[in-house]
Amino acid sequence: MDTLVRENRGTRQGRAEHFITPVASVTEDGDAYQLKVEMPGVNKEGLEISVENNELSIIGRRALPPIDGTIIHRESRPENFQRVFELDPSIDTGKIAAHMDQGILTLTLPKADQVKPRKITVS
């Protein structure tokens, strides 16, 4: 089977606002997928996560306290983050859990019961 969490690059919604694509990692254990997305400067108030038609959309808006001073060197980018993933129907979208810690969004995407690995004991 191919991955259950695919990136969906075809959807180009909200082109009016410019977003940058945050880096992400997906790992799988027996029962769930874990998606981690790096969004430095975003806290849980700045998150918009939605699932529609098996499309998981993540928007992270930065809430950086302004610094009193003039900038003399800049490498960071001011844009907010957005990334869209396509979820396989076997993911139980009703049970997705989200956690935000130090700029990392962790989403736990549980597999529906019928696709979980099952141990069959022979009696």
Partner 1 sequence: MSIIRYQSPETVAWTGLDRWNNLRDELDSLFDMPFWSNFGRQSQLFSGWSPALDLYQNNDNMIARVELPGMRKEDIEISLQDGTLTIGGERKSEGAEGDKAERTERYVGKFRRSVSLPTQVDASKVTATYRDGILTVTLPKAEEAKPKQIQVNVE
- Residues near partner 1, by CB under 8 A: 3-5, 7, 9-10, 20-29, 33-34, 36, 38-43, 63-64, 67-77, 101-104
Name the residue nearer to partner 1 (CB basis): 67 or 120: 67
Contact in structure between 39 and 102 (CB atoms under 8 Å): no
What are phi and psi for residue 100, nearest 5 degrees? -120, 125
Between the two ends of the chain, the Cα-to-Cα distance in Å is 30
Name the residue nearer to partner 1 (CB basis): 39 or 58: 39
Query: How far is residue 2 CA from its own chain's centroid?
Result: 19
**Residue of 13, 10, 23 lying closest to 77 (CA atoms):** 23
Name the residue nearer to partner 1 (CB basis): 119 or 122: 119
Shortest spacing between CB 123 and partner 1, in angstroms: 27
- Sign of the alpha-carbon torsion through 38, 21, 41, 71: positive
Shortest spacing between CB 72 and partner 1, in angstroms: 5
51 CB-contact burial (10 Å; exposed 0-12 / middle 13-18 / buried 19+): middle
Name the residue nearer to partner 1 (CB basis): 41 or 110: 41
Shortest spacing between CB 105 and partner 1, in angstroms: 9
Shortest spacing between CB 59 and partner 1, in angstroms: 15
